[in-house]
């Protein structure tokens, strides 16, 4: 299949999982849905394990996984808190900040340096973030940025974007010391096992809650698994930056879900802001 189609499918499945998670959060807490996000995807991913080669794993791989797990758990919980308390159309676009943060974290972790296109990308993404709340500009030129600070879900998602800028680099290290397909098939199951004790603690050991919304939970697991699988199928065809750039259209799919499924307001300016942010990401990723 064409890499572009795979990348667009990946974006759609990722946004669908977010929308399904927000829907399930009306009846379940963020800790349960955070676990469902990885736990219900795990069986689908483990199904591909018998069909791939198991690489030789070294100490660096296991140390990287140990560093990744607490960061991913924090990010996943904050992610669910963000989409629970704030509209998808105002929270999801801030994931576009992750490549901005990666300019700096990649320099620290992988030795990659900022160039002039990185600066242009940062400016475009900042302009896009401003446009997300442009409707408040009549109260003052800095009001759109102040609105971000007042929206707790947006602040949580900015923290998530920063954590993802670190975990993306660490994930690259783990892949270099294993393989893309092996990492994609095993990492979420490992993450779900690490997150499970926290879920049991927060839910007073009530295991039956895992089956409280079986249909929507299963759909979350399926869409997350499909987003992972299509991502790695795409990167096996073409370079990662091209896939990531197209994958960022998940922000647009997320805004559409917010508009049509959750009847969110101010969609026009948020759509324009997200498009500008995506252009900034493309400039960083491809140039």
**What pLDDT is attached to residue 216?**
96
Question: Of 11-20, 113-122, 217-226, 246-255, which range is least confident?
Answer: 113-122
**What pLDDT is attached to residue 137?**
67
Please report, rounded to a whole number, the percentage of residues in the chain having pLDDT higher than 70.
91
Please report, rounded to a whole number, the percentage of residues in the chain having pLDDT higher than 90.
43
**What pLDDT is attached to residue 238?**
76
The full set of domain ranges for the chain reads: 3-286
Confidence class of residue 115 from pLDDT cuts 50, 70 and 90? low
The 10s digit of each residue's pLDDT in 244-287 is: 778 878 888 998 999 999 999 888 888 888 888 888 877 876 66
Q: Over the chain, what HEC string results? A: CCHHHHHHHHHHHHHHHHHHHHHHCCCCCHHHHHHHHHHCCHHHHHCCHHHCCCCCCCHHHHHHHHHHHHHHHHHHHHHHHHHHHCCHHHHHHHHHHHHHHHHHHHHHHCCCCCCHHHHHHHHHHHHHHHHHCHHHHHHCCCHHHHHHHHCHHHHHHHHHHHHHHHHHHHHHHHHHCCCHHHHHHHHHHHHHHHHHHHHHHHCCCCHHHHHCCHHHHHHHHHHHHHHHHHHHHHHCCCCHHHHHHHHCCHHHHHHHHHHHCCCCCCHHHHHHHHHHHHHHHHHHHHC
The 10s digit of each residue's pLDDT in 187-242 is: 999 999 999 999 999 888 888 888 889 999 999 999 999 998 898 788 778 766 67
Confidence class of residue 18 from pLDDT cuts 50, 70 and 90? very high
């Amino acid at each position: 299949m064409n890499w572009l189609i795979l990348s667009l499918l990946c974006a759609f499945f990722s946004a669908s999982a977010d929308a399904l998670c927000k829907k399930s959060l009306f009846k379940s807490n963020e800790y349960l849905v955070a676990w469902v996000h990885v736990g219900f995807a795990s069986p689908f991913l483990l199904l591909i394990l018998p069909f791939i080669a198991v690489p030789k794993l070294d100490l660096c791989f296991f140390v990287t996984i140990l560093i990744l797990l607490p960061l991913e758990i924090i990010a996943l919980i904050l992610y669910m808190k963000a989409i629970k308390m704030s509209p998808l159309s105002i929270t999801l676009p801030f994931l576009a900040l992750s490549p901005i943060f990666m300019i700096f974290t990649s320099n620290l972790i992988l030795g990659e340096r900022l160039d002039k296109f990185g600066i242009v990308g940062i400016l475009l993404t900042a302009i896009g973030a401003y446009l997300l709340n442009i409707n408040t500009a009549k109260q003052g030129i800095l009001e759109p940025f102040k609105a971000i600070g007042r929206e707790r879900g947006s602040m949580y998602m900015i923290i998530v974007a920063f954590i993802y800028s670190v975990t993306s680099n660490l994930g690259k290290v783990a892949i270099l010391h294993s393989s893309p397909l092996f990492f994609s098939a095993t990492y979420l199951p490992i993450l779900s096992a690490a997150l499970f004790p926290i879920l049991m603690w927060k839910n007073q050991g009530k295991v039956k809650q895992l089956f409280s919304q079986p249909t929507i939970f299963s759909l979350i697991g399926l869409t997350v698994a499909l987003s992972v699988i299509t991502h790695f199928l795409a990167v096996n065809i073409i370079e990662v930056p091209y896939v990531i750039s197209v994958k960022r259209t998940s922000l647009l799919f997320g805004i559409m879900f917010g508009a049509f499924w959750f009847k969110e307001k101010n969609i026009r300016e948020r759509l324009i802001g997200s498009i500008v942010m995506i252009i900034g990401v493309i400039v960083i990723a491809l140039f």
